[in-house]
Amino acid sequence: MNVTKAELIITAGNKSQFPEMNKPEVAFAGKSNVGKSSLLNCLVNRKALARTSSQPGKTQTINFYNVQDEIRFVDLPGYGYAKVSKTEREKWGKLIEDYLCNRENLREVILLIDIRHEVGKNDKMMYDWIAHYYERVNIIATKADKLNRSQVQKHIAMVKKGLGLRPTDRIMAFSSVSKLGKDEIWSMLDGVIVD
Ligand code: GTP
Ligand code: MG
């Protein structure tokens, strides 16, 4: 899709603020600082539609974006940020569950994993949880520009194994700096719109 229109619909702090389920949605999940907002911006050719930050734990709400009046991108709050209080963590869990377990128009769930590191405990938990509800989980291994090409392949294999991916799942490498993987991700998303 050639995106010329992308806008924030709502920053939702609870379920009552979620928009109507009348458009297909794609949700982006992942650890704080993994690059969710950067990926969203890259896909819609914008520098700062979704706020990015070197300070982890910035996005603590579910942000819904309208893309070209055809599809919604849903930026889920990041997890695994140590400085978050127990109350905030519980609030995060409830919000994310309210979204992921009840969203009939949710067509693909994308889980972002930092390509450089071993899969963390929180990543594995998040994957298992999504995989329990969804037949296919799409993994995007971010920050691929930090590795060279042969390392990228090696690390993709490492992430696959670390998460225990099923044959129905998909994995692709991405970089918001070099734009590696952007076209592949869009081919997948275009599939959501024509379905
Ligand atoms: P939260 O909203 O806090 O959960 O973070 P996020 O997952 O939205 O991450 P964000 O996009 O804000 O990026 C976090 C940091 O990583 C920023 O400093 C980005 O510039 C950097 N970053 C994101 N993607 C990439 C990438 O592909 N390559 C490199 N080198 N840096 C990246
Ligand atoms: Mg963010």
Domain borders along the chain are 6-194
Residue in 38, 61, 112 to alter for ligand 1 test, most ligand atoms within 8 A of Cβ? 38
ipTM of the complex: 0.98
Residue linked to tokens 């949605």: 25
Query: Would you say domain 6-194 falls under CATH 3.40.50.300?
Result: yes
Please spell the DSSP secondary structure of 106-120, one letter per residue: EEEEEEEEETTSPPP
CB-ligand 1 contact for 1 (6 Å cutoff): no
List the chain pLDDT tens, one digit each, 195 residues. Answer: 889 999 999 999 999 999 999 999 999 999 989 999 899 999 999 988 887 666 665 557 899 999 999 999 999 988 887 677 888 888 888 999 999 998 999 999 999 999 999 999 999 999 999 999 999 999 999 999 999 999 999 999 999 999 999 999 999 999 999 999 999 999 999 888 876
Confirm or reject: Cβ of 35 under 6 Å from ligand 1.
yes
- The answer to whether 60 touches 88, Cβ cutoff 8 Å, is yes
Residue nearest to atom 21 of ligand 1 (CA): 35
Q: Where are the beta strands (DSSP E) in the chain?
A: 6-12, 25-30, 62-67, 71-75, 106-114, 137-142, 170-173
